[in-house]
Amino acid sequence: MSNLLLPKMVCIDIETTPIESYTWGLWEQNVGLEMIKTEWSILAFCSKVIGKPGVEYADTGGRGAGKVRDDSKLLKRLWTILNEADIVIGQNVRRFDIKKINARLVMAGYKPYSPVRVIDTLDAAKKTFAFTSNRLAWTSKYMTDTPKSEHKKYPGFELWAACLKDDPGAWAEMKKYNVQDVVATEKLYAKLRPWMSNHLNLGVYVGNKETHACPACGSLNTQRRGRATTQAFQYWRYQCVDCGSWSKASLRIKGSGANRD
């Protein structure tokens, strides 16, 4: 099977700067709009085309602390990446990354990029499993060989604070942290994909009447195993030898159902 037949699938993860604001305390503070000093922006991003080697990383560092919040170059590249992608994959990407990118793009005057489908590994984990935790720190540790980076040199918020100061060491740590998250997410996605009942059907890109392609991974290496029965008809059932996902043929078995051929 040629990967050229499959849609372009991109795994993505962004990091943002914090909002600077005025408060009168540390606990249970309500920050009004008039108390905001500096709005948030995109600090860094990493993207990777699923199934291909190499990652792309970019941040706002290296131009001085006064320009760390200038994400104009990142926005230009992110728009292109999304415009060229068919599917975007990420951990909590539906509620955070995509919406944050969209917010910054529209604020900067960009027109919409071409429509993309979104696959969220966090949503998949919540829907089908009862893990101890659905956070990437847990799922990547127990289901991949690339656990989420803990950025121990700059623990917690220290990493973001140091990047805001344009600290070269912090940027190096941020790159490692960001890249490792994307690599871990791709590997987690590969583990969860065969279990996703609502995954985009990749089989339509490569299958035909003579061959049954796996809807989860697009592989033609499938085996017919039994029948799937609905309220009205029966269909041949298949399992993918490569990823293990189960599916059924799109055409019913002739002679099956209440209204037989």
Whether the predicted pLDDT of 206 surpasses 90: no
Render pLDDT for 208-255 as a digit per residue (tens, 0 to 9).
667 788 988 888 899 998 888 887 788 888 899 999 999 888 777 766
125, pLDDT greater than 90: yes
Please write the tens of the pLDDT for every residue from 31-46.
999 999 999 999 999 9
What integer pLDDT is reported at residue 256 of this predicted model?
67
pTM above 0.85, yes or no: yes
As a whole number of angstroms, the distance between CA 42 and CA 47 comes to 14
145-199 pLDDT, tens digit each:
999 888 888 999 999 999 999 999 999 999 999 999 999 999 999 999 999 988 8
Higher pLDDT, 51 or 88: 88
Question: 217: closest CA among 246, 237, 253?
Answer: 246
Phi then psi dihedrals of residue 95, to 5 deg: -90, -25
- DSSP strand pairing (246-248 vs 234-240): antiparallel
Helix axes 98-107, 72-84, angle to 10 degrees: 120
pLDDT tier for residue 1 given thresholds of 50, 70 and 90: very low
Q: How far apart are the first and last CA of the chain?
A: 34
Average pLDDT, rounded, for the chain: 91
Report which DSSP code applies to 241: T
The pLDDT score that the predictor gives to residue 201 is 86
- What is the mean pLDDT of the segment spanning 47-71? 96
Percent of the chain with pLDDT over 70: 94
Q: What is the reported pLDDT for 208?
A: 65
Q: Please say whether the beta carbons of 43 and 73 come within 8 A.
A: no
| pLDDT exceeds cutoff 60 at 113 | yes
For residues 29 and 27, give the distance between their C-alpha atoms in angstroms, rounded to a whole number: 6
Q: What is the average pLDDT across 107-119? A: 97
pLDDT at res. 120: 97
Which stretches within 92-250 are classed as H helix?
A: 98-107, 121-128, 136-143, 158-164, 168-192, 203-206
* pLDDT value at 258 more than 80: no
Strands 87-90 and 9-16: parallel
**Residue-range domains of the chain with CATH:** 3-18+35-195 (3.30.420.10), 203-248 (no CATH)
More confident call, 257 vs 153: 153
pLDDT digits over 83-112, tens only?
A: 999 999 999 999 999 999 999 999 999 999
SS (H, E, C) 102-121: HHHHHHCCCCCCCCCEEEEH
